């Protein structure tokens, strides 16, 4: 297989990724509308002549409250997104325990990164290292000032120069294709919904433990229990969370293949990258990182190695394609 149509594939994936990314605010606003609609439907209950409770949906009222809510939702998401967007670098460092790597400390790694950057004509990113005897690497950052390539000490000690060049070329391709910016953006949106779900669950637990969930009804029997309202909100958040997870995973899987191809082309040795992936998958490092949103940045996800009958579900919710498949594709070049 030749690297024919590489730029065409990158442009196609970029367009698809933008479309997928646009789904996040659509999903959030969609769940807000569903939440308001469910409140309206269950809140407009009345008893008919047979004494049966009947519910109805007033779409006009729902749309009115939805329109008035949109600016507040957008403002809240924008503020939250802005803070998380510019704090991502420190967040990743804290989560992984990474520290800067200087040329004096490891000239071999520093020179490999520098030579590859000169080859493809890109600015030199920061280089970080994690003191982990196992093997892994990842790229992060949103702009030239924060782009970073991080490797474990085990990776630098156990890989040959050719294999290490393939791994670093993979990570540099993520930066060149703006993958890190896109993935961090998707991480933030998923984090927003995840946090709202957590707050909703906590509020429900507090109401159950300390009271406050009694119903308030008027003469027509219209009111809603606060617990029911919170439950509706939780269901909406859960649905939104599943959709955002699937969208995020789809973005990541597509771009891993592109980074493999770009890394192999950059280092000039696809078999070396295939060999590196095989070694990493046998002993993936960074397993102590307990944040799955950060782990999706790794070249091999340490939790993405499920085998057997769970493989289908693992591949559906995995942020990375199957490593064996990636190796097989590289070995065809």
Q: Which residues are catalytic?
A: 171
Token reading at 243: 């959709």
Burial tier of 162 (Cβ tally within 10 Å: 0-12, 13-18, 19+): middle
Question: What stretch of H or E contains 254?
Answer: helix 226-267
Helical axes 226-267 vs 161-176, angle rounded to 10°: 130
Tokens for 98, please give them.
């990474």
Closest CA relative to residue 148, chosen from 128, 123, 164, 119:
128
- DSSP tag of 151: E
Structure tokens given for 140: 């992060």
Rounded Cα distance, 75 and 80, in Å: 9
Rounded to whole angstroms, how far apart are CA atoms 225 and 216?
A: 7
d(CA 266, CA 84): 32
Give residues with Cβ within 8 angstroms of 330, minimum separation 6. Answer: 260, 264, 270, 271, 273, 274, 277
Length of the chain: 333
* Residue 127 backbone dihedrals phi, psi, to 5 degrees: -120, 125
Residue 34 token pair: 């569903």
In whole angstroms, what is the distance from residue 322 CA to residue 304 CA? 8
């Amino acid at each position: 297989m030749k690297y024919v149509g590489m730029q065409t594939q990158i442009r196609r994936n970029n367009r698809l990724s933008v479309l997928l990314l646009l789904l996040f605010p659509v999903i959030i606003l969609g769940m807000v509308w569903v939440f308001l609609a469910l409140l309206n439907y269950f809140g407009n209950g009345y008893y008919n002549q047979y004494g049966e409770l009947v519910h109805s949906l007033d779409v006009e009222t729902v749309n009115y409250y939805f329109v008035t809510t949109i600016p507040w939702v957008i403002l809240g998401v924008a503020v939250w997104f802005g803070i998380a967007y510019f704090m991502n670098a420190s967040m990743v460092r804290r989560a992984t325990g990474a520290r800067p790597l200087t040329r004096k400390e490891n000239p071999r790694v520093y020179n490999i990164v520098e030579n590859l950057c000169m080859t493809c004509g890109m600015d030199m990113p920061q280089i970080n290292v994690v003191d982990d005897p196992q093997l892994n690497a990842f790229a992060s950052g949103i702009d030239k000032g924060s782009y970073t390539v991080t490797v474990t000490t085990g990776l630098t000690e156990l890989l040959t120069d050719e294999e290490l060049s393939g791994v670093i070329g993979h990570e540099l391709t993520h930066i060149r294709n703006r993958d890190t910016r896109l993935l961090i953006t998707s991480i933030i949106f998923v984090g927003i919904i995840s946090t709202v779900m957590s707050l909703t669950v906590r509020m429900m637990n507090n109401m159950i433990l300390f009271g406050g969930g009694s119903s308030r009804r008027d003469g027509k029997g219209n009111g809603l229990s606060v617990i029911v309202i919170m439950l509706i909100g939780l269901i909406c958040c859960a649905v939104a969370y599943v959709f955002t997870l699937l969208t995020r995973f789809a973005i990541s899987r597509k771009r891993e293949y592109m980074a493999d191809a770009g890394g192999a082309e950059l280092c000039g040795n696809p078999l070396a990258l295939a060999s590196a992936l095989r070694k990493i998958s046998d002993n993936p490092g960074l397993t102590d990182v307990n944040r799955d949103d950060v782990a999706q940045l790794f070249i091999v996800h340490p939790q993405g190695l499920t085998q057997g009958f769970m493989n289908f579900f693992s591949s559906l919710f995995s942020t990375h394609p199957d490593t064996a498949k990636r190796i097989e594709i590289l070995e065809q070049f």
